[in-house]
Structure 1
């Protein structure tokens, strides 16, 4: 990482997502200094996922970020989100499995993504199981609250179980 690249990357991060014009200028400068910087490529992928909603372009940036630095723990979470938004569930499952093996990654966050994946696939019981597992790896109140809120939300979406009516 060069100091100049860092300066522009952190400027882009500071501008994202509120001042997209300045963010893109700074991000393009960062990438001109170091075209294969995983953090800058990941942020560009986030721009295309969260703002532009061009998931195919975003996937290209995330793939480049992963190829540049496979151990970068910032990229998988956002790449998983992109894959789920694009309904590439099988790819998301593979990336989740890989990310859970990465040293230093926030496992609660990745397991939360896994729960969201199962929720999208309408496999609510599996989603709740993954939320419960994520709680074991949650080490801050805000993440625990997020997990509890999501579990409540999913339970509300679950179809009611039919009660057996016994005849006398």
Structure 2
């Protein structure tokens, strides 16, 4: 096993529980190969998920994709960072492109698309994608997520429906029906 693999695996194993060791291992891994897309992706994740430095994270993701546009490990995390940073147009473009990348987990990308549509309050479009997603899923790994997402979207749709007003009956109407 190459040294880069050893340090990269140590970093992956330590994240997110021991950030100091994760960073140290990533530094070693990148000193051996500064074009390692997995290491760059993990650095970006630390920036976004732990430090909330979304712009810095975006730079790492862009660097990784600049090295290898087919680095499928980058797309789900990059899209999530764009959503957190409210870069919605960029997220929509990246989602559409990611779905064309060979070998990518389309289920994960479509889950991000549903999240994007939910943020934009496009619930009917999200339900349509959810239905497509249910047809794509070939294992039970995502079943709970799909069920909970469907419930959540239906609850949001119900919240937006106008409430029917109950007609108030006047005292005269009540007296006519009564004795």
Q: TM-score range by the shorter chain?
A: over 0.9
Conserved 8 A contact 1:11-1:26: yes
State the Cα distance separating 1:160 from its structure 2 match: 4.2
Output the TM-score relative to the length of structure 1. Answer: 0.92
State the Cα distance separating 1:164 from its structure 2 match: 7.1
Output one character per residue of 1:31-81: Cα deviation in whole Å (capped at 9) or x when no partner. 111111111001111111111110000000000010111111111010000
Q: In the alignment, what sits opposite 1:110?
A: 109
CA distance, structure 1, for counterparts of residue 19 and residue 134 of structure 2: 34
CA distance, structure 1, for counterparts of residue 41 and residue 60 of structure 2: 6
Q: In the alignment, what sits opposite 1:161?
A: 161
Please list every run of 5 or more consecutive structure 2 residues that lacks an aligned counterpart in the other structure: 168-179
Q: In the alignment, what sits opposite 2:47?
A: 48
Conserved 8 A contact 1:80-1:113: yes
Q: In the alignment, what sits opposite 2:170?
A: none
Q: Secondary structure at the match of 1:155?
A: helix
Output the TM-score relative to the length of structure 2. Answer: 0.87
Q: Secondary structure at the match of 2:143?
A: helix
Please list every run of 5 or more consecutive structure 1 residues that lacks an aligned counterpart in the other structure: none
State the Cα distance separating 1:114 from its structure 2 match: 0.2
Matches within 5 A, 1:92-131: 92-131=91-130
Q: In the alignment, what sits opposite 1:142?
A: 141
Q: Secondary structure at the match of 2:9?
A: helix
CA distance, structure 1, for counterparts of residue 48 and residue 37 of structure 2: 16
State the Cα distance separating 1:144 from its structure 2 match: 2.2
Output one character per residue of 1:92-134: Cα deviation in whole Å (capped at 9) or x when no partner. 1111111101111111110010000011111111112112211
Aligned residue-pair number: 165
Larger radius of gyration: 2
Conserved 8 A contact 1:109-1:134: no
CA distance, structure 2, for counterparts of residue 58 and residue 132 of structure 1: 32
CA distance, structure 2, for counterparts of residue 160 and residue 70 of structure 1: 40
- Provide runs of 4+ in structure 1 moved above 3 Å: 162-165
